[in-house]
Chain A
């Protein structure tokens, strides 16, 4: 058993648990975005940042990947954390302004505008990679990938239709935190009949 503190509450954890998992077990909620219970955590979005304090030394870590350790002093709602969160939400608003889900989430934390420049007003994908991870880890087919402009379909060779691995399970749509995948899935899954088109 590891013993440490979250928001001045004593908590216990087994080796291998993360700070986020421990916090949740004690009913302490930390906002997350690129984390999903079904897949490995990747620590990409940084929204789940928490503050570690020791004396006057403090540091910020992503709680979804940071392992629980003896003697930690974790704060999930400190001023520093609230600021970082605001900052991340502003970044997100500038990166994927087209996502209502992100706007709603930001508003919940009091962020409704961004001081950063909006790159692409149409963009709704934050490239958290949840869709690709669930497709690979849970579905087991690697049908999609992320690149600089969002999600695209991974195909073996230009017309090798049967290589198109998507099985149209919708898992990616279910895990996408921004709703972007719902708008992209039709490009990925194609129609059943097309996936099986004859070639003779």
Chain B
């Protein structure tokens, strides 16, 4: 596709909201003058049916292949435009929005309509430049022909396999246990569920009879390779010998959580004080206990109130089974008064009939286990009471076992220490969630009861089967915006793989047999974290690339007046806060010009440098509040890059404050407005960077240094990883790292300048020439040149008995 891009721009009047505040005539006129704008139209309401019909007509008539709508919040309106424009041939990424209304029209009371139009033009030109720089990448078509592999030994395996069979989808169950062992484990992992085992057996039988389900017995998994449609997984061979290799189109994980005994503070001794898993085993191997059996639902005290209802259900069914089997036991369920009874009306009736006692205690004081007694308080009564017991049964401690963690990490289902596999989830829109939800089932994902585990298996299987159906119909495509790796450039450093939270990045064979990386486009959510971090810029986000961001930043910077600031705001923090300024009846400093980015972590350092190079005197990134970043640590990554830029600015003799990172909360527009004003004041108070040849040379060198592989690798290695729990990451000695990094930056910056100077001069230069040219210390230049010469980056020749250098 080499035809020139045809960008259409649609200007909203939005009733009087924009029309009444912005000089629309001037705006339209300036937009039309913008390069690459093939069409421009002012409309009353582009987002309503008449407006949408108008846009579609314009796309068809003028042959537009990308459009900008200058209206309001993309957070609210983009989905509608994307849906409506699909049948006009515009895909996600080919539509951009500028928030003319809330960032310009309604928030600058001090400006004249014509001035507002001028500001609007700058934002629109930036957006047009972004779209025009796009090299449209098609969605990848994916085909899945091989069977689905279900692994992890979880009980949901059977439910999933049954569901696949119903859908006519072939599946392979890779299990290390036989059916009887699986059933036995249920006592331990889903205590109090024996009444449901019949159902499990039925499912097992159905699965065994199905010709679509293949069962293999395996040991621990060893490795996984490949992408959606084409996976290969190897397992240890339980009989010894060569590992077992399985080919699969998709992989699903069924993982059960494990139960541990509560700690000594609850008196657990494995005999008279036990936990529910042990009680379950005892009940079905030995029989019910005699005397006073007390189930203490101690989840609140153990710090996991969220599982109290599960423990209550477990206690209820175990207790019920005990009294139904023996008249020699009295069952009491002893629970925190804040935990609601989990019984239906019918169950309450049964409970009364069986004489099961429910005692609610006041959690103000943690009940204390004593020999044969529990002491406790009840609500609104100061009297300490005693509950006698002969057998005390505690809630189990729910954990993710080693096996589940191993399988999860093999499948890149990210895991945080001490957390359930689904408990850590990115707070993003459903379309941006990785595949985890769809391929994971069982109580290791999040504690649940047996029926829920089975239901999860079925649900996940339905989702997977739908994906396979799409693939059979040739309709399975990746999202439009996904990361792609250019294997010619990839050096296999693995930074992207470590930083990717979705688990989309796989090791593949690169050029010449080296290890490279490839992205599974069906898992990638287009977060762009890896692309911004790639040392070689081998990875790029198709249809939303760094090249586009650079174009946007450059186009905006070129238009900015000396006291004006270029800003980047993210979907969740900065841009959203700006969207809400007008709503709160506030005004915003008009000198701030904000470019939209999905996440601050997506902004490559080159983009920041580009803005400075092309004319911005101040650049600020608005991300989320620390620890509220919705992607894995984009705002932390932004921090690292901004700080690199600060160092480079200082090296070049510019003020470090010309770049800054700020945090914003969408529901605190007041705070946002203040931060904006503070920063614009700082920039307006400085002399603008004089765009002299010397200064431009330095700005160019800053830009080039942000592309330097060594610098980028060092920067990436220090970025916060998805598993790190401290703001900005904790894996290093802060000062040592920073000093080392600063040293490398200084070196690479100086070398970049020398290389540029030698290239620009075109003929061999002496040390003195270069020192004068770069306005730098002679000895330092000499030292650098020697080092560069020894690395073969420059050539040294002698002319008139003096050392001369050239590239």
Contact = CB atoms under 8 A, between A and B. Distances in A.
B561 interface: no
A195 B427 contact: yes
A128 to B, nearest CB: 15
A48 B28 CA distance: 31
Contact of B44 (A25, A169, A171, A196): A25
B75 A169 contact: yes
Given A29-B15, A37-B45, A174-B76, A160 B446 contact: yes
Interface stretch (A72-80, A84-92, A135-143): A135-143
Interface string A38-63: 10000000000000000000000000
A8 interface: no
Given A138-B79, A160-B446, A186-B667, A200 B583 contact: no
Interface stretch (B48-56, B208-216, B219-227): B48-56
Interface residues of B, number: 55
A134 interface: yes
Interface string B624-640: 00011110000000000
Given A173-B666, A192-B627, A24 B423 contact: no
Nearest to A37: B47
Nearest to A159: B306
B572 A169 contact: yes
Interface stretch (A14-22, A114-122, A146-154): A14-22
B420 A200 contact: yes
A161 B308 CA distance: 13
A17 B447 CA distance: 49
- For chain A, the bracket of interface size reads 35 or more
A169 B429 contact: yes
Contacts of B583: 173-174, 179, 182
Interface string A165-180: 0111111011100010
In the complex, which of the residues B45, B305, B416, B431 has the most CB atoms of chain A within 10 Å of its own CB atom? B45
Contacts of B419: 196, 198-200
A186 B484 CA distance: 38
A140 B446 contact: no
B2 to A, nearest CB: 36
A145 to B, nearest CB: 18
A162 B430 contact: no
Contact of B49 (A17, A158, A168, A173): A17
A42 to B, nearest CB: 16
Nearest to B628: A192
Contacts of B49: 14, 16-18, 21
Contact of A140 (B80, B429, B627): B429
Max chain B C-beta neighbours (<10 A), residue from A157, A161, A166, A169: A169
A170 B308 contact: no
Contact of B50 (A25, A138, A170, A182): A25
B184 interface: no
A25 B572 CA distance: 32
A159 B80 contact: no
Contacts of B580: 170, 173-174, 182
B447 A199 contact: yes
B304 A139 contact: no
Contacts of A157: 309
Contacts of A138: 76, 79-80
B418 interface: yes
Contacts of B423: 161-162, 196-199
A24 B51 CA distance: 10
Contact of B572 (A14, A168, A191): A168
A139 B666 CA distance: 16
Contacts of B416: 196, 198
A125 interface: no
Nearest to B71: A37
A162 B446 contact: yes
Contacts of B630: 167-168, 192
B16 interface: yes
A167 B427 contact: yes
A34 interface: no
Contact of B307 (A38, A182, A199): A199
Contacts of B431: 140
Contacts of A13: 50
Contacts of A186: 667
Interface string B571-585: 110001001100110
Contacts of B76: 36-38, 134, 138, 171, 174-175
B429 A159 contact: no
A164 to B, nearest CB: 10
B73 interface: yes
B48 A21 contact: yes
B13 to A, nearest CB: 8
Contacts of B197: none
Contact of A27 (B44, B399, B446): B44
Nearest to A185: B667
A169 B667 CA distance: 10
Nearest to B625: A192
A38 B80 CA distance: 7
14 contacts: A22-B50, A24-B45, A25-B45, A25-B50, A27-B44, A139-B429, A140-B430, A167-B428, A168-B427, A168-B572, A170-B579, A171-B75, A192-B427, A200-B420
6 interchain residue pairs of minimum CB distance: A159-B306, A170-B666, A25-B50, A38-B76, A198-B419, A167-B427
